[in-house]
Amino acid sequence: MDSDSFSSLRKMCRAKRVLYVEDDGDVRTQTRKMLELYFQEIVEFDNGLDALACFGHEAFDVIFTDINMPKMDGLCMIGEIRKLNPTIPIIIFSAYDNTEYFLKTIQQGVSGYILKPFVFKDIVETLEKVAHQWFTCKPHDLALVEGYYWEKSTQCLCKEHEEVKLSKHETALFALLTSSKQRVFSSEEIEIAVFDDDFSDNKRVRNLLSRLRQKLGCDVIQSIYGEGYKLRWLH
């Protein structure tokens, strides 16, 4: 890789947040030094279970993981992560050099499989592939927490590539809230946008949100005390 390509790739990676899972402390220390040449923020865990718990409530852009780990192995962790986020790039570091493990990782949609012991060049080549994924991800899919995402083109809420059935008012609510990532929408604004009538009652908004939480099984919509509501974005 020439200096211009290195600088370009490094610049892209600096803003990305890494989840790194490896149970061997020495390997983790050595690999982190390599990753730090590209990434500024790296969150480490020594087992899949704790890493999965962290992934459930924090945003990451790429995952590096071992396979054979305590509490929860890498393949099980990847399977659970794919339920929450079907598209995040995942790179495996592993000493397993056999077809069975390789095919299992392919089924999980991993972006790279790097055999131990590895060298810096192996990481760079895989990062180039991941960078291509970042460039080619679908911009019309807006990722939310808990594996949900909003398809702008079809105005549909989805999870694990399946549409979540929404009522007319629920669809209108998501269309409004996805129009801005930063803005907090007041109850009055929601009521005007969602309910097509002249009747005013803030209880309708609270009831709508309550039914939606029950349907989704989680709080995708965040309540900001004294201000209103906004979506809980994955990034």
User: How far, CA to CA in Å, does 65 sit from each of 68, 125, 145?
Assistant: 9, 17, 21
Rounded CA-CA distance 47/11 in Å is 29
C-alpha span between 47 and 68 (Å, rounded)? 9
- Cβ–Cβ < 8 Å for 115, 92: no
Kindly report whether the global pTM for this prediction surpasses the value 0.75.
Answer: no
Confidence (pLDDT) at 140: 47
Residues 6 or more apart in contact with residue 156 via CB below 8 angstroms: 150, 163, 164, 166
Beta pairing partners, 2: none
Map residue 48 onto helix, strand or coil: helix
- DSSP state, residue 164: E
Quote the pLDDT of residue 99. 59
Nearest by Cα to 61 from 79, 45, 80, 85: 85
Residues 6+ apart with CB under 8 A from 53: none
First to last CA, the chain: 30
43 φ/ψ angles, rounded to the nearest 5 degrees: -105, 125
Q: What is the pLDDT of residues 143-163, one digit of tens each?
A: 888 888 888 767 888 887 678
In degrees, rounded to 5, the angle at the alpha carbon of residue 6 between the alpha carbons of residues 122 and 143 is 80
Residue 98 and residue 105: Cα distance in Å, rounded? 11
CA-CA-CA-CA torsion for 79, 81, 83, 86, nearest 10 degrees? -100
Ordered by start, the domain boundaries in the chain are 3-136, 141-231
Note down pLDDT in tens along the chain; length 235 residues: 556 666 777 777 887 889 999 999 999 999 899 888 888 899 999 999 999 999 988 888 889 998 888 899 888 899 888 888 877 888 888 776 665 666 666 666 787 788 777 777 888 878 877 776 665 555 446 788 888 888 876 788 888 767 899 999 999 899 888 877 778 888 988 988 888 777 777 789 999 999 999 999 888 899 999 899 999 887 6
Class of domain 141-231: mainly alpha
Nearest Cα to Cα of residue 35 among 93, 107, 84: 93
- For the domain made up of 3-136, give the CATH fold: Rossmann fold (3.40.50)
Rg (alpha carbons) of the chain, rounded to whole number: 21
Q: What is the pLDDT of residue 94?
A: 79
